[in-house]
Amino acid sequence: MKVDIGNSILELVEGDITEMQTDAIVNAANARLILGGGVAGAIRTKGGPKIQEECNKIGGTFVGGAVKTTGGDLKAKYVIHAVGPRAGEGDEDEELKNATLNSLKLADEEGIKSISFPAISTGVFGFPIQRCAEIMLQTTIDYLKGQTDLEKVVFCLYGQDSYEVFANQLKQEISK
């Protein structure tokens, strides 16, 4: 599913984010930037040790923050590590909005033209997929309506169920 927002394209795909050929992919990171399981584990496995080495030099970031490393052996040139909230820790909606927004801002600051996001915090962090879709899509749409050099934002969703949640939410967002 593809829609035009401002001068950019917003696209939803179902698949493996490590296979995306956008300039950058977003890692659903933890605050210590240790590439463990889930999306981070897949990025570590396919991207090679260089990504974790750069994360170790950075040392970490705050919940809602985003930092950039090389893409290592991935098809994407960069990985933006966005730290999403854990369900139940408080102020999760605002933290997820900030993780999304800070990733988009960092991409713009670094001259990145295309970026792929996973459904941040919906794995081991336990954030509800529907609420994730609402927050991430609304934040991205609002951002793309403003001044940006981003040409394409992709939400690469793992599994048909997650894709359907985001597709239904995007239909609601663009009909507003």
Write the pLDDT tens digit of every residue in 101-115.
Answer: 999 999 999 999 999
Q: CA 91, 69, 102, 155 torsion: positive or negative?
A: negative
Flag whether the pTM goes above 0.85.
yes
**Which pLDDT score is estimated for 176?**
77
pLDDT of residue 108: 97
CATH number, residue 126: 3.40.220.10
Model pLDDT, residue 34 = 94
Q: Check residue 18 and give left, alpha or beta (phi > 0: left; psi -120 to 50: alpha).
A: alpha
Domain of residue 131 covers: 2-174
Q: Give residue-wise pLDDT tens across range 4-21.
A: 999 999 999 999 999 999
pLDDT of the residue at 175: 86
HEC secondary structure over 105-169 = HHHHHCCCCEEEECCCCCCCCCCCHHHHHHHHHHHHHHHHCCCCCCCEEEEEECCHHHHHHHHHH
Q: CA torsion, points 17, 122, 6, 143, in degrees to nearest 10?
A: -120
Q: What is the pLDDT of residue 11?
A: 98
Give the number of domains in the chain. Answer: 1
Average pLDDT, the chain: 96
| pLDDT, position 38 | 85
Dihedral sign, Cα of residue 56, residue 59, residue 61, residue 66: negative
Q: What is the pLDDT of residues 131-176, one digit of tens each?
A: 999 999 999 999 999 999 999 999 999 999 999 999 999 999 988 7
Question: Are 73 and 80 contacting, i.e. CB atoms less than 8 angstroms apart?
Answer: no
- In single-letter form, the type of residue at position 103 comes to S
Amino acid 149: pLDDT? 97
